[in-house]
């Protein structure tokens, strides 16, 4: 039985996770709108839910993970007469809208591969589900919570609330205040109330992406696709719906209204929202002009970066803060993440080389390692607390380094604890956190080996009080711009 608890943003409480139909779990995450490259902020959200997906699988659940591609319907201005983002970009780049979709979907998949973000089990597209979206709009009209107006279809928020439902249940917003806020906006004439949102929009002749419908030629509203695709693949009620916090309102609020309006049931048991990635204290977003592309971190090709950082360094940096906290990305944070990641990865390498030779089990040490292993699961069970998991893995890595520097033998643990250490360290580092060994060039591997040899010779010289040899090594390395540091976890080197 799992003891996983999830902070449910619908109930605003941390709740025990009880899937509707165990061992199956349905997980839906709003995917990217493919009209431009995903930036690092988007990547943080997808990495956060990759962690959730990985941990659910690690616990033994059979997860159906649906993450959509928004390739139609996302307007530049949700409240008014916005334009289709794909079409706008197509005009700008002088391409077909579907070439835009293809180009940025491929780019998104490349980012996922490099950052080790698992593919979902289903990746549906909005354009592949036009028929289902029309059907849901028809159902909503039939249920008295939507109406047609001049070739468009709108969701009737007041009628929905008059049926006893609660538009605002997720975001805590009040519809009278919302209506007051909308009053001055243009393009509202077709709606009964300014707060009503589009399920289907009539296409003007210049719109390229348009489809036939019972209301004439048009295209679906953005919110409708997620209601349709989540319930089509996961059922009318499913376990977890995920997305960035900025989607809570209006996108997710509207999704709930559509599903409840169509079926009378709350569609989702646990809503999860990730917090934003900031850069210099501001939400990273294209409109603010402060977005950095994931690939720019890898090439270092950005005026705000001091050097390239690997994809795993960035992923590791993300794991050091809880998904529900804001994360400010800084050069210092990246540098520390680089060092921390190297320590954990090196310890994984050492662990492979260590020999188990339990001569005398030291009870205190044995219990300490056993408890640390248990802590890894406990902290992840507490709403996927990756930063605490990283801290626990650091403690285990320190101990692994001590074994490695002491004759490469584990000689004071019971075999049960030793096996638990192996499974826990590797399982949480690679399978749960999704970190992986980054390809090093042959030269680097050779350099690592040569440096390890030099470090060993220096240690031997110092143990033998052979200061001439140890000083010679130090001076030669200094000349080669390599510094070595003696820490409590052993000796490491750095190229200056
Ligand atoms: P979009 O392509 O704009 O629909 O966004 C894709 C996902 O990225 C959504 O779940 C957004 O909430 C999320 N997102 C957008 N900006 C940020 C940010 N600065 N930090 C974290 N997540 C973000
Ligand atoms: Zn969505």
**pLDDT value at position 288?**
80
Q: For residue 246, which atom of ligand 1 is closest to its CA?
A: 12
Q: Is 90 exposed, middle or buried (0-12, 13-18, 19+ CB in 10 A)?
A: buried
pLDDT tens-digit series, residues 126-159: 999 999 999 999 999 999 999 999 999 999 999 9
Whether 441 has a pLDDT exceeding 50, the answer reads no
**pLDDT value at position 491?**
79
The C-alpha atoms of residue 63 and residue 59 are separated, in whole angstroms, by 10
- Coil, strand or helix: which one is 301? coil
107 pocket-lining for ligand 1 (C-beta < 6 Å): no
327 pocket-lining for ligand 1 (C-beta < 6 Å): no
The C-alpha atoms of residue 455 and residue 461 are separated, in whole angstroms, by 10
Q: Is the peptide bond before 23 cis (omega within 30 degrees of 0)?
A: yes
| Domains in the chain with CATH codes | 17-274 (3.40.50.620), 293-432 (1.10.730), 442-495 (no CATH)
Mean pLDDT score, 44-70: 98
- Output the average pLDDT for the chain: 92
- Coil, strand or helix: which one is 140? helix
Structure tokens at 433: 């956190």
> Where is 253: in which H helix or E strand?
helix 253-263
Rg of the Cα atoms in the chain: 27
Q: For residue 32, which atom of ligand 1 is closest to its CA?
A: 2
The DSSP secondary-structure symbol of 30 reads: -
Please tell me the least confidently modeled range out of 14-23, 97-106, 117-126: 97-106
Starting from the edge strand earliest in sequence, which strands make up the sheet with 238-244, in order?
62-67, 24-29, 238-244, 268-274
Q: For residue 243, which atom of ligand 1 is closest to its CA?
A: 10
Residue 270: closest CA among 64, 60, 1, 16: 16
The C-alpha atoms of residue 6 and residue 383 are separated, in whole angstroms, by 5
Residue 400: closest CA among 437, 381, 373: 373
The C-alpha atoms of residue 434 and residue 117 are separated, in whole angstroms, by 8
30 pocket-lining for ligand 1 (C-beta < 6 Å): yes
Q: Which residue has the higher pLDDT, 76 or 107?
A: 107
Read off the pLDDT band of 442 (50, 70, 90).
very low
CB 125: neighbour CB atoms within 10 A?
A: 18
pLDDT tens-digit series, residues 257-303: 999 999 999 999 999 999 999 987 889 987 787 889 999 999 999 88
pLDDT tens-digit series, residues 304-350: 889 999 999 999 999 999 999 999 999 999 999 999 999 999 999 99
What is the distance in A from the centroid of ligand 2 to the CA of 236?
16
Mean pLDDT score, 16-31: 98
Residues 6+ apart with CB under 8 A from 151: 202, 215, 216, 218
Q: What is the pTM of this model?
A: 0.88
63 pocket-lining for ligand 1 (C-beta < 6 Å): no
244 pocket-lining for ligand 1 (C-beta < 6 Å): yes
Task: Look at strands 268-274 and 238-244 and give their pairing.
Answer: parallel
The DSSP secondary-structure symbol of 195 reads: T
pLDDT tens-digit series, residues 219-254: 999 999 999 999 999 999 999 999 999 999 999 999
């Amino acid at each position: 039985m799992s003891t996983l608890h999830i902070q449910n943003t619908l109930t605003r409480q941390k709740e025990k996770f009880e899937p509707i139909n165990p061992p199956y779990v349905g997980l839906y995450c709003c995917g990217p709108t493919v009209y431009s490259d995903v930036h690092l902020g988007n990547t943080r959200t997808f990495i956060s839910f990759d962690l959730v997906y990985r941990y659910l699988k690690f616990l033994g659940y059979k997860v159906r993970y649906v993450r959509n591609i928004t390739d139609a319907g996302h307007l530049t201005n949700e409240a008014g007469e916005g334009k289709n983002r794909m079409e706008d970009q197509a005009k700008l780049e002088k391409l077909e809208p579907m070439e835009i979709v293809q180009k940025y979907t491929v780019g998104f998949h490349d980012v996922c591969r490099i950052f080790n973000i698992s593919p979902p089990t289903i990746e549906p597209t909005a354009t592949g589900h036009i028929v289902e979206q029309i059907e849901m709009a028809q159902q909503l009209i039939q249920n008295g919570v939507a109406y047609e107006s001049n070739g468009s279809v709108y969701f009737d928020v007041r009628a929905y609330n008059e049926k006893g439902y609660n538009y605002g249940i997720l975001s805590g917003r009040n519809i009278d205040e919302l209506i007051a806020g909308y009053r001055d906006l243009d393009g509202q004439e077709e709606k009964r109330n300014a707060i009503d949102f589009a399920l289907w929009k009539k296409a003007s002749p210049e719109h390229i992406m348009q489809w036939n419908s019972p209301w004439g030629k048009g295209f679906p509203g953005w919110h409708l696709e997620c209601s349709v695709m989540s319930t089509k693949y996961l059922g009318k009620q499913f376990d977890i719906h995920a997305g960035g916090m900025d989607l809570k309102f209006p996108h997710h609020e509207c999704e709930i209204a559509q599903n409840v309006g169509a079926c009378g049931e709350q569609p989702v048991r646990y809503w999860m929202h990730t917090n934003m990635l900031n850069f210099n204290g501001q939400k990273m977003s294209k409109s603010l002009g402060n977005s950095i592309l994931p690939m720019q971190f890898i090439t270092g090709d950005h005026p705000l970066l001091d050097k390239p950082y690997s994809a795993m360094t960035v992923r590791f940096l993300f794991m050091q803060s809880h998904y529900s906290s804001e994360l400010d990305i800084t050069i210092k944070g990246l540098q520390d993440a680089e060092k921390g990641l190297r320590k954990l990865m090196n310890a994984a390498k050492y662990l492979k080389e260590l020999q188990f030779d339990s001569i005398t089990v030291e009870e205190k040490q044995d219990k300490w390692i056993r408890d640390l292993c248990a802590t890894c699961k406990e902290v992840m069970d507490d709403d996927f607390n990756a930063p605490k998991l990283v801290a626990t893995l650091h403690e285990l890595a320190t101990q692994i380094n001590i074994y490695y520097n002491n004759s490469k033998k584990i000689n004071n643990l019971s075999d049960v604890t030793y096996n638990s250490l192996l499974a826990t360290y590797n399982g949480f580092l690679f399978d749960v956190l999704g970190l992986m060994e980054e390809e090093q060039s042959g030269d680097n591997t050779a350099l690592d080996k040569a440096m390890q040899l030099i470090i060993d010779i220096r240690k031997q010289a110092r143990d033998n009080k052979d200061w001439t040899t140890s000083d010679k090594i130090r001076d030669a390395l200094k000349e080669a711009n390599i510094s070595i540091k003696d820490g409590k976890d052993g000796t490491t080197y750095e190229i200056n």
